[in-house]
Structure 1
């Protein structure tokens, strides 16, 4: 009887130990799975302003500076991002061109500003492996592209990013727009890039929803918003689901006020928005920025949070 009782106790102990180990392994498995889950990163369009003005405390850029510095992080969890693909209006090429070095110096592509604006640093790393993968995916989609390890990051990259993420600890791959300014091609570029969002890689478009240099000079503080109709069109398009969004943006230049907002052959600042809209997925986007520069030029920013 003593032997039987001892054996029974041993069996119970072994069972308890076994169940404890099993529970620990199950718990470890599920908590590990949670840790390994990657949140879908957003696609975001931001306005980068005039040259380095948002970085200089310019009073006319105050609303834009505050949005980039304080508001973007409320919509984008920077801590979750693995990298950023940044499409800039200030790089136009005949084929999609992708920055592909481990580090890129800054390219100060503006003129006539204070000396300190040519000494800025933004030392976020590049990501050659991601650049190669983007090149591969674009090629698979029939979109001509090339890698460029030499060109610096222009102010379409470093001006907004110095405000959005001053710690410069998220890798960035800069991407050009196309000189042909074809809206359907730009939308399809975004469609191809959208798959990277599933890996926690955000896609940011940096341009301006309104960009007419002549009117910037002549209609400041005019007491009226010169692009009200076109801004309303952009909001309708970007807050529509994928099929309608593509249809509307493909004929953006036929809309009221379109060519006054982005003159013929000078729509490079709109192209990043069309890329981001293409990367948005099936669901409607959300307007997260709507502000009037000098009370005359309405600027809008958009985000696509989900991907389906």
Structure 2
């Protein structure tokens, strides 16, 4: 989004490479965005979602980004039903648009905006077990060709960026790598439920909104292995961050 003297180049390259890794273009994308929270799980149901510029102080051009991907109300209703089948309340929102948790990565991954997109909110309270359970409920969508994207950030402490973040972000990233990549898939859910016990957990995530989308993605992944597809040390002058994909290349 913002011009950055190359700061985002490695991240952008990892996003541009995702369609190649997936093989076939997905029939739709379901994004769990760190930037949308409701009292109950809520699904974007607009046919033509508007844009939500949910930030301030950014360069002027970032307020003119357009991502005209269509919504998919039928998928939104299916998501709602799957969440309800898992025992959670779920609502539809026909007015909600794309926040930057969705359009920022997707404008790089699918710049033609030719894949339908639906967003799912986080649920207030940030219960990791609930978000993992919702992910498990959504897993059947993958068999239908729906790409499930958890959009957050592995380190999100805006008051501690730059060099002072180098040690805690690396400590938390090491734990995250171990949890997702080297831990047996059937054990990683419990580690994520207990994420607050991780080294530097509350420095990395004073508020866990940017960690919760990962929980949904892990739940949906089932026993698929995790692959680190993006890793950078020195992001924003000192932060270690990573991104992950679940499953073999050639599948959503």
- 2:230–2:244 contact (8 Å) kept in structure 1: yes
Report what 1:66 is aligned to.
Answer: 13
What whole-Å deviation, never above 9, does each CA across 1:242-265 have from its counterpart, x for those lacking one?
Answer: 3201110000011111111001xx
Q: Secondary structure at the match of 2:232?
A: strand
Q: Secondary structure at the match of 2:91?
A: strand
| Among candidates 63, 66, 69, match of residue 121 of structure 1 | 66
Q: Secondary structure at the match of 2:7?
A: helix
Alignment of 1:192-231 (within 5 A): 192-216=137-161, 220-221=162-163, 224-231=166-173
How many residue pairs get matched?
247
In 2, Cα distance between the equivalents of 1:95 and 1:58?
Answer: 40
Report what 1:235 is aligned to.
Answer: 177
Report what 1:97 is aligned to.
Answer: 42
| Among candidates 174, 177, 182, match of residue 119 of structure 2 | 174
Alignment of 1:108-187 (within 5 A): 108-187=53-132
Report what 2:217 is aligned to.
Answer: 276
- 1:187–1:246 contact (8 Å) kept in structure 2: yes
In 2, Cα distance between the equivalents of 1:103 and 1:208?
Answer: 27
| Among candidates 244, 253, 257, match of residue 200 of structure 2 | 257
- 2:136–2:220 contact (8 Å) kept in structure 1: yes
Unpaired segments ≥5 residues, structure 1: 1-51
Q: Secondary structure at the match of 1:203?
A: strand
- 1:97–1:145 contact (8 Å) kept in structure 2: yes
In 1, Cα distance between the equivalents of 2:184 and 2:220?
Answer: 12
What whole-Å deviation, never above 9, does each CA across 1:156-213 have from its counterpart, x for those lacking one?
Answer: 0111111111010000010111121111011111101111000111100110000001
Q: CA deviation at 1:222?
A: 5.4
Unpaired segments ≥5 residues, structure 2: none
- 2:47–2:71 contact (8 Å) kept in structure 1: yes
Tell me which structure has the larger Cα radius of gyration.
Answer: 1
In 2, Cα distance between the equivalents of 1:57 and 1:66?
Answer: 14
In 2, Cα distance between the equivalents of 1:262 and 1:295?
Answer: 18
Superposition RMSD on alpha carbons, in Å?
1.7
| Structure with greater helix percent | 1
In 2, Cα distance between the equivalents of 1:223 and 1:124?
Answer: 36
Report what 2:28 is aligned to.
Answer: 83
- The verdict on how the C-alpha distance between 1:168 and 1:242 changes in structure 2, with shifts beyond 3 A counting, is same
In 2, Cα distance between the equivalents of 1:140 and 1:110?
Answer: 34
- 2:80–2:90 contact (8 Å) kept in structure 1: yes
In 2, Cα distance between the equivalents of 1:61 and 1:82?
Answer: 28
Normalising by the residue count of structure 2, what TM-score does the alignment of the two structures yield?
0.92
